[in-house]
Amino acid sequence: MFLAAQAFIILWLRFRPHHVEELMHRLDAMGYTPSQFITNMTISLLMIMPMAMLLLPLYSTLVGGDLVAKEAEDGTLRMILSRPVSRIRLLGVKWITGIIFSVVLTFVLGAFGAGFASLFFPSGGLFFFWPPEGLFVIFGPDQAWQRYSASIAMLMVDTISMTGLAWMFSCFNIKPAAATILAISFLFLFRILQELEFFKELQPYLITYHFRIWLDVLREPVPWWKIGESISILLAYNVTFFVIGTAAFQTRDIKS
Amino acid sequence: MIELQQVKKVFAGRLAVDDLNLSIKAGEIFGLLGHNGAGKSTTIGMILGQVWPTSGKITVCGHDAISDRANALRKVGAIFESPVFYDYLSGYRNLEILSHYTASTSPERIRQIIEWVGLTGRENSKVRTYSHGMRARLALAQALLPKPDLLILDEPGDGLDPEGIHEMRQTILRLHREMGLTILLSSHLLTEVEQLCTRIAIMNKGRKVFEGTLADTRETQRWVRLRVGDFARAAKILREAQLIAETRDDKFVQLIGKAENNQLVECLVACGESVYEIANKEQSLEDFYLTLSRNQRSQ
């Protein structure tokens, strides 16, 4: 699904060039040579944007919600727990699996995005324009790959956190679909709160607010302090998810 | 091998197991009987540390099943009704994954077990292609992975055809004979229990209502087949004479205490009732179980 969406976006940009032309005009107006910046990196990042907003939360929570709850629903959990394995160890294994999945999923998204874009667009610099975040950046070819890779690496942290949230709900005595829906609902709720002016004071406490690290890493200069703070908060969120999930799972009865 | 002391389990205000004391000794094939919802699976869940008891103490292989679960289950294998595996993986891969959760088992050991349960040749096929009987064999294989001393079987015959049930019965006997395993068998297939178990416990509404050997069940109640002129009148006479406790199907009477057949005949003849036939009835586990269930219901 990811790959199909990526291919569609790239082909759309390639064969409906007026979207790209708009970007070129914008660059031209600022005195840059557009051909140097309408590159594989620029197009790939442009393509990743909607996926990071929609598909990534969906896929990560779908898998995270299944990690424990699906085993309980299918009955394999009872088989596993008839062995002398502790519940915490079992959850640890599931948690690590979730992290590996998140890293691989985001890596594939980034790598295939760049790969697809390279088929139709030349390599070179990186141009990224995202008004909601006040982001307008241009990097030369020497920095383009570095920034792109750093952005994907930060996106991995976001994906891990989304999977972790769904994993936590998965540890409760609920259906896997319910765990996924709960996680997505929470993410949407946080996102809505984050956007409302009334809740501005709450922003630093909302997990979705810190998901912007993958965009922050594109800023010039890179706000490392802010990124470090967000990563620490996301880490704290993840630890909280693990503790709550483990506590819920530890106390529940596993029945057929 | 297994000790339950005053074990109690309450699920959201509903009493599932109440004040259960149970002792299963090494080398036994112990049957846990009861109707659906009697508390058998909850009891097994508590023994395996999957269900937390509300109160009481559970010891398995000399270790506390709650606080020292890893050691308690080190030499325990378990099979559940309708065993579930990762259908999209092979039988071999399923066994590998299950063994990796604890200590990884050598490929030789896995092959050895596959051969023992008779799955050789199909171990690399996906589990979704397995028949019910093959799944049961794979379940047995996973239970044997840790070289168990104790095997816990929760409704192992469920969903199997008569041939599968026969095979399962033979396998259980073989495990007991060849490996000397202690076996706890939960079932509502009374004939299975009768043919396999050395001792049984019967549960009803979460309480143990009987524990003993099969011989005990035969001695507990003595039934006599009685053919008389008027069964209802004969039953009334015998009840008044305090010789019988119960009647069944208009032809069976249950003797009280040390009452003997000749006393019944003498009493009936003295009251002018014709007696055509009197014979002891061999008490099956089913008879015992049904009578016990009836008595429990009437209480």
Residue whose C-alpha is closest to residue B117's, from B74, B77, B70: B77
Of A81, A84, A251, the CB nearest to B74: A84
Model-level ipTM above the cut of 0.90: no
The distance of Cα A216 from the centroid of its chain, to the nearest Å, equals 14
Question: Is pLDDT of A28 > 90?
Answer: no
Percent of chain A with pLDDT over 90: 48
What is the rounded CA–CA span in Å between residue A45 and residue B292?
A: 74
CA-to-CA separations, B178 to B93, B112, B116, B181, in angstroms, rounded: 27, 15, 11, 8
Residue B145 phi, psi (nearest 5): -55, -45
- Chain A contact residues (CB < 8 Å to B): 74-76, 78-86, 89-90, 93, 251, 253-256
pLDDT digits (tens, 9 = 90+) for A108-165: 999 988 888 888 888 888 888 887 778 888 888 888 899 999 999 999 999 999 999 9
CA-to-CA separations, B90 to A139, A217, B117, B132, B136, in angstroms, rounded: 50, 45, 16, 15, 15
Domain edges within chain A: 2-251
User: Which value, in Å, is the radius of gyration of the alpha carbons in chain B?
Assistant: 23
- Chain B residues with CB-CB distance to A83 below 8 A: 73, 98, 101-102, 146
**Which residues in chain B (263-282) have CB-CB distances under 8 A to chain A?**
none
What is the rounded CA–CA span in Å between residue A101 and residue A60?
A: 8
The arithmetic mean of pLDDT across residues B28-46, rounded, is 89
pLDDT digits (tens, 9 = 90+) for B217-271: 776 677 888 888 888 888 888 888 888 888 888 888 888 877 888 888 888 888 8
Q: CB-based contact (8 Å) between B187 and chain A?
A: no
The arithmetic mean of pLDDT across residues B289-293, rounded, is 76
Query: pTM for the complete prediction?
Result: 0.82
| Res B298: pLDDT | 66
> CB of B240 within 8 A of CB of B233?
no
Question: Is pLDDT of B93 > 90?
Answer: yes
Residue B173 exposed, middle or buried by CB count within 10 Å (0-12, 13-18, 19+)? middle
Q: Which domains does chain B have, with CATH numbers?
A: 1-75+148-162+176-214 (3.40.50.300), 84-145 (no CATH), 222-282 (3.30.70)
> CB of A56 within 8 A of CB of A163?
no
Residue B1 three-state SS: coil
| Res B268: pLDDT | 85
CA distance B101 to chain A (A): 6
**Residue A34 — very low, low, confident or very high, per pLDDT cuts 50/70/90?**
low
Of A80, A251, A256, the CB nearest to B101: A80
Residue B150 phi, psi (nearest 5): -125, 130
A256/B41 touch (CB, cutoff 8 Å), yes or no: yes
B50/A82 touch (CB, cutoff 8 Å), yes or no: yes
The highest-confidence range among A153-157, A195-199, B94-98, B181-185, by mean pLDDT, is A153-157
Residue B212 three-state SS: strand
**pLDDT averaged over every residue in chain A:** 87
Which residue in the block uniquely carries the two structure tokens 């970007």?
A23
> CB of A170 within 8 A of CB of A67?
yes
